[in-house]
Amino acid sequence: NTETEYCSQHTDQHLTFYCQPCARFICQQCTIAEHQPGPKHNPQEVSKLAQSYKNELQTVARKTMDEADGLKRTYDTFKKELGTITTNCKLQKKKIQEHFEQL
């Protein structure tokens, strides 16, 4: 439960809008008086803006998880390949040593 704050200029009005260029929460009366939509102001309802940000964050989180899964698979592949290379190096070293012992 979040408590809705009131506008400091219009004390009977709740802050239900956000003006992005100003980075300020404003009330409906402010959208009519000081923050009319235009080149300098873009008031948007907080609830709609919050839902939009939530959707964007969910998309970014989903993409991040997909990338993390891909990185984990790549790490596992490299780890397996490193084990194979290490085993092959040891085998080749042993063969070289055996060859020199036969000389």
- pLDDT of 1: 46
Reduced to 3 states, what is the DSSP secondary structure of residue 11?
coil
Residues 79, 84: Cα–Cα separation, whole Å: 9
What is the chain's mean pLDDT, rounded? 93
3, pLDDT greater than 80: no
Note the pTM of the prediction, 2 decimals.
0.58
The position carrying tokens 């929460």 is 25
Distances (CA, A) of 85 to 20, 78, 80, 90, 98: 56, 10, 9, 9, 20
pLDDT tens digits for range 20-61: 999 999 999 999 989 999 999 999 999 999 999 999 999 999
Q: Taking residues 92-96, report their average pLDDT.
A: 95
Q: What is the CA radius of gyration of the chain?
A: 31
